Amino acid sequence: MVLNPVTGAFLDGLRATLPETCFRPIAPRYLSEPRGFYAGQAGCLLLPSSAGEVALILRHCNAARVGVVPYGGGTGLVGGQVMPKGAPAPVVLSLERLDSIEKPDLQDNTLVVGAGAILADVQAVAAAAARLFPLSLASEGSCRIGGNLASNAGGVQVLRYGNARALCLGLEAVLPEGRIWQGLKRLRKDNTGYDLRDLLIGSEGTLGVITRAVLRLFPQPEQHLTAFLQIRDPRAAIDLLARCQARFGGLVSAFELIDRTGFEFLQETLPSLRRPFAAPGKWMVLLEIGAGTDFPAQTVLESVLEAAFDAGLMHDAVIAQSEAQREAFWAVRERIPEANRLIGAISSHDISVPLGQLPEMIRKGAGVVARFGDLRVNCFGHVGDGNLHYNVYPPKGAHRADFSHLRDDIKRAIHDLVDTLGGSFSAEHGIGRLKRDDLSRYGDPAKLAAMRAIKTALDPNGIMNPGVIFAPS
Ligand SMILES: Cc1cc2nc3c(=O)[nH]c(=O)nc-3n(C[C@H](O)[C@H](O)[C@H](O)COP(=O)(O)OP(=O)(O)OC[C@H]3O[C@@H](n4cnc5c(N)ncnc54)[C@H](O)[C@@H]3O)c2cc1C
């Protein structure tokens, strides 16, 4: 599909139909992404304020065959929100002005929000109504609901509440040819053929632009019990998770595995951050239970931990005694990505494997990385979901640039291992531009053919986020 760049004549046509407030100078943040792998380009930056304006833009782009890059909070980790030079300069379409958050519906337990609403603001509105919107990511102060849905974000509470797809009941979206799909339903059951909502969620801006969403809310747990544990090894983490789930049922809301390397990176880069253990062991778990006040959570947790001590699964535990301590525990987990960024990974992998294969992944992964030299691995993540952020770093004191020649080979070796264990090379970050070669390598051919057919049917001119998920044709 041959696309055209944004030209003066194209902009004149847009100016004839859109208010001047939609046109903004292109600030550098719209052309960069957190990992610094890609520098973007833009023919123009547009900030529409309604689905109607988005529809006008897409109609115009479709007629002129100009590419469109939807932009939420810009925190995506696979380069989906930036288009590097090499393709015709696209329209960058930021949804940030569609940031409305309606009053929560407390009977339905739903909340209607614009695609540009910041995740932390959505959580706050839900909390003010004594409800929980459980999507929770370290980037929640910047990422926006449209981006969360387009990338089907995960985060730390998927174990209990599911990922972004599971938290969305309905969508309003603009399809590539400029038609507005009014799918803002609040239904938990709607079995009426192909599910456009589920198709758009996770489509990373390649099938249309999400403009509004109906989100699911949950009762706010009356008490949280948060514990940092030092455990024997990754297999012990899985045993412990099973014990917790047996005793707490669905009340386990987070179960995060943390490697001592994560603590060392925090010490190296953010030394003032309070850490729960002076002498951390090799493996730790951050566990959270959310329950009603009537449930004897503390007693049950103590008995689970006692039995786990006796079984040799763990050797130390600290239970948060106050909200401030709970926040301090979470700050440790949530600032690991920042510490990682400051250290600078040679190669990062967002992988998932069947839960039972997780220890094998960690064991064999260490062997795979050792083949490339004396490198450091920081492996942490949402172990309850079988999802690890398996990141490889240079030795202490060295710089990642000196190892960049190894990046592709390391990535390939880790993803090959994940594939043999029946896992996925992208657990929660999506494909974007970074992982499209992996998709063509590891993806099922029938699935890829169906995906291409869907893309062509909905976006025949290929204007939506060209180069994301599939290489530009
Ligand atoms: C510190 C840090 C921690 C993170 N932790 C997690 C984590 O735990 N779990 C996780 O899943 N992710 C995590 N991420 C990745 C990222 O925050 C999520 O992918 C987030 O959902 C992206 O939202 P965004 O608004 O920033 O989207 P953007 O980065 O702006 O865009 C992401 C993709 O969605 C498309 N898009 C954006 N808005 C729309 C729209 N309205 N309609 C259609 N397409 C659109 C873009 O074109 C792009 O392809 C983390 C990132 C950082 C920097």
Contact yes or no for 380/388 (Cβ under 8 A)? yes
196: which strand partners? Answer: none
* CA–CA dist 237, 118 (Å, integer): 33
> Mutate which of 93, 149, 151, 174 to test ligand 1's pocket (most atoms within 8 Å of Cβ)?
151
Residue with tokens 């412990």: 240
Mean pLDDT by 10 residues, the chain (473 residues): 93 97 97 93 98 98 98 97 94 98 97 98 97 95 98 93 97 98 95 96 98 97 96 96 94 95 94 88 95 93 96 96 94 92 94 96 97 95 91 93 94 98 96 96 97 98 97 80
* CA–CA dist 171, 265 (Å, integer): 40
143 lines ligand 1 (CB under 6 A): yes
For residue 429, give the nearest of 441, 439, 416, 417 by alpha carbon: 439
> Under 8 Å CB-to-CB from 258, ≥6 apart: which residues?
283, 284, 285, 286, 332, 333, 336, 380
Residue with tokens 């897409």: 58
* CA–CA dist 426, 414 (Å, integer): 12
* 263 backbone dihedrals φ, ψ, rounded to 5°: -65, -40
pLDDT for res 239: 96
- CA 415: distance to chain centroid? 19
Q: What is the strand order of the sheet 252-259 is part of?
A: 252-259, 283-291, 223-231, 314-319
- Ligand 1 atom nearest 69 alpha carbon: 47
150 lines ligand 1 (CB under 6 A): yes
pLDDT for res 289: 96
81 lines ligand 1 (CB under 6 A): yes
Cα–Cα distance list, 107 to 186, 220, 459 (Å): 11, 14, 38
* CA–CA dist 382, 389 (Å, integer): 8
Whose alpha carbon is nearest atom 28 of ligand 1? 74
* CA–CA dist 65, 272 (Å, integer): 52
CA–centroid distance, residue 202 to ligand 1 (Å)? 10
Q: For the chain, how many residues are written?
A: 473
Amino acid at 394: P
**Per 3-state DSSP, what percentage of the chain is helix, strand, and coil (rounded to 5)?**
40, 25, 40
* CA–CA dist 110, 126 (Å, integer): 9
pLDDT for res 298: 93
155 lines ligand 1 (CB under 6 A): yes
CA–centroid distance, residue 321 to ligand 1 (Å)? 33
CA–centroid distance, residue 147 to ligand 1 (Å)? 5
CA–centroid distance, residue 50 to ligand 1 (Å)? 21
122 lines ligand 1 (CB under 6 A): no
Instruction: Return the structure tokens found at 92.
Output: 């960058």
Instruction: Determine the 3-state secondary structure of 332 from DSSP.
Output: helix
pLDDT for res 290: 95
CA–centroid distance, residue 119 to ligand 1 (Å)? 11
pLDDT for res 472: 80
With vertex at residue 366, the alpha carbon angle to CA 360 and CA 369, rounded to the nearest 5 degrees, is 135
For residue 224, give the nearest of 330, 106, 380, 331 by alpha carbon: 330
Contact yes or no for 119/143 (Cβ under 8 A)? yes
> Under 8 Å CB-to-CB from 17, ≥6 apart: which residues?
56, 60
Contact yes or no for 430/152 (Cβ under 8 A)? yes
> Mutate which of 45, 57, 100, 143 to test ligand 1's pocket (most atoms within 8 Å of Cβ)?
143
* CA–CA dist 136, 121 (Å, integer): 12
In this prediction the pTM is 0.94
- Ligand 1 atom nearest 211 alpha carbon: 41
Q: What is the DSSP string of 247-271?
A: HHGGGEEEEEEEEHHHHHHHHHH-T
468 lines ligand 1 (CB under 6 A): yes
Q: What's the distance, Cα to Cα, between the start and end of the chain in Å?
A: 6
